[in-house]
Amino acid sequence: MTALKLELRGITKRFGSLVANDHIDLTVEPGEIHCLLGENGAGKSTLMNVLYGLYEPTSGEIVVDGTPRTFRTAGDAIAAGIGMVHQHFMLVPVFTVAENVMLGHEETGALGWLDRRRARKKVLDLVAEYGLAVDPDATVEDLPVGLQQRVEILKALVRDAKVLILDEPTAVLTPQETEELFRVMRALRESGHSIVFITHKLKEVKAVADRITVIRRGKVVGSADPQASETELASLMVGRPVELVVHKEPARPGDVRFTLDKVTVLDDLGNVQVNDVSLDLREGEILCIAGVQGNGQTELTEAILGLRKPAAGKIALDNKDLTALNPRRTLDSGVGFVPEDRQHDGIVGEFSVAENLVLDLVTREPFGGGIAIKPKQVRENARQRVAEFDIRTQSIDSPAGTLSGGNQQKVVVAREMSRPLRLFIASQPTRGVDVGAMEFIHQRIVAERDLGTPVVIVSTELDEVVALADRIAVMYRGRIVGVVPPTATREQLGLLMAGVDDPALLAEAGGGKALDTRFGVGPARTDGPDLAKSDGAPADRAGTDQTDRTSTDGEEGPA
């Protein structure tokens, strides 16, 4: 295979007045893994969409092996030897692996019929060459996410891609699937392929990158090698020193305050998404629900809030039945809720920052009563919350939709945490926010726990889960497959996230130490880490500062 050298020279991309990429220079050498690191919204994906022909640059040029090239479509980029695996896969679920790989690049026989045998052989040859281990006859919808990603890589390789762009490739993978992806990436590098690896996860950068380029606000702000510390890389990303740990004392949980009892939830088509889930939550503790996206977490939180009525089971807070309540009455019961999609469910983009900070409070004092809203109190509340939560906005009258993703999230968090709470639920609390905003949001969540509020965090980011949790419940295909302590290894959590609950395999993944998959279930315990001793003193625990290097799995908007 002939390797390619890829150069981006002065690439600028504007969307109206927004400069998403600002005179970016980038060189990808043959046979290297080049990491493009930056916060969400920094412009990484926009730049790669320019390279792949999905966007036309406002100015600048793309040079392949010393020759300037113009890519007006993805087909132009593919013809030049550039392939891309998007964060959201472009696969036909009901087709087989071989059919997906050949789609748009069909093999035909003498009479024009599709030659499935030849397509299948090409897949098998690539599987053998790069160790991708996927069955060409398997139907894609039956494959786990990690194998679907391999199909996307095969699609690029069968088109002779010599430069492969991977856009946030680990966002939906378990730790084991991530390690397997890294093995495949290294094998591709050894064969002469170049890989552009787009991510915001510092740990992964250090694990697999040969060179690192950091983008901030659409500009290249520096480069580094994998030996750079995570603190140095985070500072380059954000532009200031960042604390990469969550500081929290051991939990002192009290009485059980919130319970899910055999809850089953269906989707709009009548399919079971949450299957007979039972959990309890005590005051003053954080229960994190972990799992790969799409295993029932969304439907579970919708049922708790009253957006979706359970098909069976009971939801109770302080012995009050919430099961049949609508969202308004649930919120009025003292539930604070941060939804996973802030733009659709958390804010009204056209409303001002001040108005968004009281969206679910305008029917009560001091902000309103009856049909009247009190503008003076709404504005005073906004000034206080903007200062307290460090919301970066030109004005409290600015539309919330004009704020950055991180500041939109702060608006939602500020609104939900600025009233007395009996339960706080946050789904993907730091999705799409930068490292600095993440640090702040984590501090506020821990502070809420320390006030005695029971907290439920739903997150697909393992580092976030381990950093915040006092207990971890792992969901797989709608069921809770284990409730484990935050001291569980990432390998153990990864197995549970894949539905593996075999005690022997879990012990092996924990270095021979057995894992209690019913941690903290039942009466208040006095023997586990993070839980209070019977004499009221905190339980002994090695290291209460837990490393947190999380962020989200996608960029905000075109920038």
Q: Tell me the domain boundaries of the chain.
A: 6-240, 246-334+420-547, 347-419
Measured in degrees and rounded to the nearest 5, phi and psi for residue 508 equal -60, -40
Tokens encoding 55? 């966007």
Per-residue pLDDT, 359: 84
Tokens encoding 45? 């994906």
Residues ≥6 apart with Cβ < 8 Å to 409: 338, 342, 346, 429, 430, 431, 432, 433, 437, 441
Per-residue pLDDT, 29: 92
246-334+420-547 domain in CATH 3.30.540.10? no
What does pLDDT average to in each consecutive run of 10 residues of the chain (559 residues)?
Answer: 84 89 93 87 85 92 92 90 84 90 73 76 86 87 84 88 87 78 90 89 88 91 88 83 78 93 92 94 95 88 94 95 93 92 86 90 75 84 90 88 81 90 92 74 92 93 90 94 92 91 90 84 44 33 35 37
Per-residue pLDDT, 518: 86
Tokens encoding 281? 């939550």
Per-residue pLDDT, 112: 64
Q: Which residue has the tokens 């792949």?
A: 52
Per-residue pLDDT, 237: 83
Per-residue pLDDT, 542: 31
Per-residue pLDDT, 362: 76
> 102, 245, 342: which is closest to 544 by C-alpha?
245
Q: Is-same-fold flag (6-240; 246-334+420-547)? A: yes
For residues 62 and 5, give the distance between their C-alpha atoms in angstroms, rounded to a whole number. 11
70-77 contacts: CB < 8 A, separation 24 or more?
77/51, 77/52, 77/53
Q: Element (H or E) spanning 12, and its range?
A: strand 6-15
* DSSP helix/strand/coil, 72: coil
Tokens encoding 319? 């012995």
Q: Which residues of 449-487 are buried (b: 16+ CB within 10 A; e: fewer)?
A: beebbbbbbbbbbbbbbbbbbbbbbbbbebbbbbbbbbb
Per-residue pLDDT, 13: 94
Half-sphere exposure of 485 toward its Cβ, with a 13 Å CA cutoff?
A: 17
Tokens encoding 398? 């600015």
pTM of the predicted model over 0.75? no
Per-residue pLDDT, 447: 93
Topology classification of domain 6-240:
Rossmann fold (3.40.50)
Per-residue pLDDT, 528: 38
Per-residue pLDDT, 368: 73
